Structures are given as structure tokens and as C-alpha cells.
Amino acid sequence: MAPSPNASGDDAKRQGLTQLGLVVFMLVVMYVMVLRPQQKKAKEQSLLLKALKVGDKVITSSGILGVVTSVRDDTVTLRSAETKLEFQKSAIVQITERAA
């Protein structure tokens, strides 16, 4: 029995759909594994910075521990030991203790 002429065309379509499905699957996996957690972390960081207030004990991205003495639009002033330091808000990575 000889294969019909349409059989090779159907196989090519099936193979093309399989490859397209694999590409779509890989894009979905990439979104779930990479992009979604990154968006979630950025949202949490944004909420942390909005909740920042005077008296909070914080840690900066460079590892400096301090107490917030003033909060402005883009900057935060910290008191660490006997020193006042001014940082960009984005340098604050964690609030260790909230002000009472």
C-alpha cells in the first residue's frame, strides 16, 4: 500500500502545531517561573516604601542599619549610631521594627 499524498501534508501540519504548542508552553513556563515572581517582589517593595515612616528601624541594600528620622518624596534620612545619612528610598530593603 502506498501512502496517500495527503499523509505527508497532515504530518507536517501536525508537527508544526506540536512545535507551536511547545513554544507557547515554554513562554507560559517562563512567565510563571521568572516574570511573575519578579513583579510580585517589585509590588511588595513598593508597598514597603509607601508604609515607611519616621521611627521605623530599617536595613539598606548596603547593609546599614538605622532609624528613619525623615521621609521625603525620593529620599529617606537615617540615624545610624551618631551619624545622619541620606538615602534614596529604593535603598531601603527591609523594615525590621515598626515605629510605635
Q: Please tell me which residue, 73 or 99, carries the higher pLDDT value.
A: 73
- pLDDT 10s digits, 5-30: 555 778 888 998 999 999 999 999 99
**DSSP per-residue codes, 28-89:** HHHIIIIIHHHHHHHHHHHHHHHT--TT-EEEETT--EEEEEEE-SSEEEEEETTEEEEEEG
Same domain, 97 and 57: yes
Same domain, 85 and 98: yes
Domains contained in the chain, number? 2
Does the pLDDT of residue 32 top 60, yes or no?
yes
Cα-Cα end-to-end distance for the chain: 86
Positive or negative: CA dihedral 23, 27, 30, 32: negative
Same domain, 44 and 64: no
Same domain, 13 and 35: yes
Does the reported pTM lie above 0.75?
Answer: no
Same domain, 34 and 12: yes
- pLDDT 10s digits, 36-90: 899 999 999 999 999 999 999 999 999 999 999 999 999 999 999 999 999 999 9
Same domain, 84 and 98: yes
Q: Which of 50, 67, 86 is the last residue of a domain?
A: 50
Does the pLDDT of residue 4 top 60, yes or no?
no
Tell me which residue range forms the domain holding 14: 1-50
Same domain, 76 and 87: yes
Quote the pLDDT of residue 99.
83
